[in-house]
Amino acid sequence: MLIQDILRRKRNAEVLDADAIHTFMRGVADGSVGDAQIGAFAMAVVLNGMNREEAIALTEATRDSGQVLRWHDLNLDGPVLDKHSTGGVGDLVSLVLGPWIAACGGHVPMISGRGLGHTGGTLDKLEAIPGYNVTPDDDLFRQLVKDVGVAIIGQTGTLAPADKRLYGVRDVTATVESLPLIVASILGKKLACGLDTLVMDVKVGNGAFMPTPDASRELAEAIVAIGSGAGTPTSVLLTDMNQPLADCAGNALEVHEALRLLRGDGRDSRLYQVTHALATEMLVQAGLATDAADAATRLETALASGEALERFSRMVHGLGGPSDLAERPAHYLAPAPFTTDVVAPRAGTVNAIDTRALGLGVVELGGGRRNAGDAIDHRVGLSHIAALGQRIEIGQPLLRLHATSRAEADAVSRRLSEAFTLGEPAHAVPPELIHATLR
Ligand code: URA
């Protein structure tokens, strides 16, 4: 089958059969399909779309374009499951959720990413921990998934390599915005991890990857249908990103917050509630709990016994970090040299937060990248971020800035202050944390 024929058919808005899609994606992976052809394919899909069967085939072809992890030879004593998020600000769910699920009997081979645009990345957070190696060899990764129940590492070159090329071309050809391409990219990588089940956290709101709530919902529906259609039971929680999920954002600050939750503190936080909801869905979906009440009992036991924290510590140490991070976090997670509060210019209730602006503030402070390959400062970020619905008096802090210097702090403080809309309490109805669950 000629690649030009496949391109012509998609250009003419014809439906591609699975064979054609697999042929194309094999060529993307082995280099026989050129960048111009990849760009033409992506543009044709953006313009003409794909039906469900095509999108499932594209996801399967992405998954199968490289190594697909297999776990049966390890005789694991529980299911292999994972969670993935479309990304947010102050979203450190993975750091807590992975070990928590491991402590409940699951095995979580979590391949995570770096910060992208205004959103933080799990790998960047973990690299705030001295010695933590996000690129272990295969044997160590598998051993940790078996023995500890969780390993959070970076994308390897061998998993879904077609996506790396396709995404790179989409990025420079204005073809990122396409539902089938986005779903195949996200799910292809995840399903290559050999999962029994998957829960996706699709964010909704002004800090979300998708630009509108309707677009987030559409993405969520597509993920459920295509993930399950590709053979991995997949459900989605639509969760709120109209404010940072934690009250902090920044790599080392978020590791501190993860440890706080894993110690059993902060149960009234938004972060705890969203993490708990995702964990419940994972446990029930994978058969580790019979229902939500059973999941709640198991999760409580795992947290209260210290087992979830223990799993986190074993993962960190297993991947090269200190064995006593949980006991001495301040010793290992260096603070930023300069802190200052950004205060409210007038009194009012926090009616809106420009979440994206806060995320970009962290990037500007040096906690994220402007260009791929930039070094980042893990110490910087924001903490004590005021919440939607909170009453603030004039001169009270909206947030605390953690910066490398006063000059760096001054450069962003005004923009960060403007990210908060203060008004009358009547307008201040904090949004639901969980907008919907789709199965
Ligand atoms: N994240 C991905 O991994 N792929 C996309 O296409 C969009 C977001």
> pLDDT digits over 198-256, tens only?
999 999 999 999 999 999 999 999 999 999 999 999 999 999 999 999 999 999 999 99
pLDDT of 416: 98
Say if ligand 1 is within 6 A of residue 119 CB.
no
Q: Give residue 428's pLDDT.
A: 58
- Averaged over 99-103, what is the pLDDT? 99
Closest CA to 133 of 113, 114, 153, 149: 153
Task: Spell 283-311 as b/e; 16+ CB within 10 A means b.
Answer: bbbbebbeeeeebeebbeebbeeebbbbb
* pLDDT at residue 430, rounded to an integer: 74
For residue 324, which amino acid is it? Answer: D
Q: Span 313-340, mean pLDDT?
A: 98
Question: How far is residue 368's CA from residue 251's CA, in Å, rounded to a whole number?
Answer: 9
Q: What is the pLDDT of residues 82-95, one digit of tens each?
A: 999 999 999 999 99
b/e per residue, 233-255, with b = 16+ CB within 10 A?
bbbbbbbbbbbbbbbbbbbbbbb
Task: Work out which ligand 1 atom sits closest to the CA atom of 113.
Answer: 3
The DSSP element (H or E) to which 342 belongs, if any, is strand 338-343
Check: pTM over 0.90? Answer yes or no. Answer: yes
C-alpha 2/C-alpha 32 separation (Å) is: 11
* Cα separation, 83 vs 89, whole angstroms: 17
CB of 309 sitting under 6 A from ligand 1? no
Cβ neighbours of residue 238 under 8 Å, at least 6 residues apart?
202, 203, 204, 216, 217, 220, 434, 435, 436, 437, 438
Does ligand 1 have an atom closer than 6 angstroms to the CB of 38?
A: no
Cβ neighbours for 63, distance < 8 A, ≥ 6 positions apart = 160, 187, 188, 189, 191, 192, 230
Judge contact between 428 and 389, C-beta under 8 A: yes
- Quote the ipTM score: 0.92
Give 3's contacts (C-beta < 8 A, 6+ positions apart). 23, 24, 27, 33, 37
Whether residue 263 has pLDDT greater than 90: yes
Q: To test the ligand 1 pocket, which listed residue (46, 167, 209, 219) has its Cβ within 8 A of the most ligand atoms?
A: 167
**Does any ligand 1 atom lie closer than 6 A to the CB of residue 187?**
no
Q: Can you tell me the distance from the alpha carbon of 124 to that of 378, in angstroms, rounded to the nearest whole number? A: 8
Can you tell me which atom of ligand 1 is nearest the CA of 209? 8
Instruction: Give the 3-state secondary structure of residue 199.
Output: strand
> Which pLDDT belongs to residue 372?
78
Name the nearest CA neighbour of 97 among 330, 275, 253.
Answer: 275
CA separation, residue 63 to residues 29, 36, 85, 419 (Å): 11, 22, 18, 39
Q: Which domains does the chain have, with CATH numbers?
A: 3-49 (no CATH), 72-318 (3.40.1030.10), 334-427 (3.90.1170.30)
208 contacts 88 by C-beta, under 8 angstroms:
yes
Overall residue count recorded for the chain in this entry: 439
Amino acid at residue number 399:
L
The rounded Å distance from CA 8 to ligand 1 centre is: 25
